[in-house]
Amino acid sequence: MNEDDWETVKSKGNVVLMPDPTFYIQIGAYSRVPLMREALELHGYHDLSKYAATAFDVAAFAAAGIIRDNKEKRPYISSYCPAIIRLIQINFPELVGRILPVESPLEAAVHMWKKDTGSRDKVTLVSPCPAKTALVRNPVGRKRSALKYVVSVQNVIRDLLASNIRATGSNGSESSKRWLLWSITGGETRQVSAFSDRTLTSLSVSGLRNTIDLLNELELGRLDGVDFIECRACSQGCIGGTGTYESRYLSRLRLQNLDTALLPPQEEMEVVRSQYKRGLWRLPSPLPVKERAPLSQDIGEAMAKLREMDEIYATLPHIDCGSCGRPSCRALAEDIVRGLGSETDCIFKLRERISSLSEEIGELASKVPHTLYSRRKRKPS
């Protein structure tokens, strides 16, 4: 992950955190938001989970309204996963207009907090995956992010566990848990559907291979009657990100057993409508189409690189695990051809190389140079 150094962020003082929903379900002992919030406060950190809970409700409320009022663009595509947005911008430009023009709730929550408090403190995103670092590093639909730094979920969790802080949760009120469901595949869809005044026909997929298959079907016009599509680049959703601390399956089990209403009570609903009217949920600018950079300006050279890329791709595992930091094995092959990576960036190729080297070293170690043999025992050449 292209993250900031957590120790450096802490050293700046007055740490304000905007944790992703996955952060609050990583540890069994701190699996409730008030417990995690208290643990952070005991460290001297300030988290924005209360604003995040509202921002996610507002995003779902806004999405339901857009889907209801714009029949011609259905099915709409979720704008929550930055990796999916970039995939569509480059590989499926005809579908860019179907992406919901809704700001990431993580970004919107920071804007709400700054508007309400007038604070100018720098905010750190606690991210579960490399893709969400793009919210900070390279935002789309806006010139600049309200977030300043980004660190991984696992680094912050390890810091909390190393301190052995005991949180009771008695100091904090129980807040909404609906927004935590966005961590798993189908969670966003459930909340958007709850805010809709009619039953939505929706599809939810995770993993780049499944996402690409689904977007191909949409591009071919085979998804008539579908209202909403939720896509996540990571397997199982954001809980499958490479920056998380705990197994995605344990996290999913906790979320499946989460007891929460999908709609806010009347008092909270008034807050949602009020924040909706402020318009902080809207993307400031339309999402542009991105052109794929050519392998070379010379056609002959470009064709040669394309053949080389296909040859490299054939040797890769084709499982698109994302461990190399790229969204797919083909993307890694392209980076290698462009001189931006190597085959050992792939964890499987690296293991093969290490295994090969260890065998070679073992074979060499078993051989004794002839100069070490005595004259009587020297082997004939």
pLDDT in tens, 204-238: 999 988 999 999 999 999 999 999 999 999 999 99
The CA-to-CA distance between both ends of the chain, in Å, stands at 54
**pLDDT for the residue numbered 323:** 78
Question: What's the confidence (pLDDT) of residue 31?
Answer: 61
129 three-state secondary structure: coil
pTM (2 d.p.): 0.80
Rounded Cα–Cα distance for residues 246 and 106 (Å):
21
Alpha helices in 5-47 (DSSP H): 6-11, 33-42
Buried b / exposed e along 265-291 (16+ C-beta atoms within 10 A): eeebeeebeebbeeebbebeeebeeee
Return the axis-axis angle of helices 105-117 and 49-69, rounded to nearest 10°: 120
Instruction: 299-306: list long-range contacts, CB under 8 Å, 24+ apart.
Output: 305/337
Query: 278 is written with which tokens?
Result: 């402020």
pLDDT of residue 146: 93
- Residue stretches of the chain with pLDDT short of 70: 28-31, 165, 167-175, 368-381
Distance CA 110, CA 105 (A): 9
Angstrom distances, CA of residue 209 to CA of 12, 102, 328: 41, 25, 9
**The predicted structure's pLDDT at residue 379:** 55
Length of the chain (residues): 381
> Using CA of residue 67, residue 73, residue 77, residue 80, what is the dihedral sign?
negative
Domains of the chain: 6-278 (no CATH), 299-365 (1.10.15.40)
What's the pLDDT at 346? Answer: 93
Is there a contact between 33 and 64 (Cβ–Cβ < 8 Å)? no
Measured between alpha carbons, how far is 209 from 320 in angstroms, rounded to an integer? 8
At residue 97, the pLDDT reads 94
Give the span between the Cα atoms of 258 and 10, in whole angstroms.
32
Per-residue pLDDT of 14-36, as tens digits, reads 999 999 999 988 876 556 778 88
Residue 131 structure tokens: 């893709």
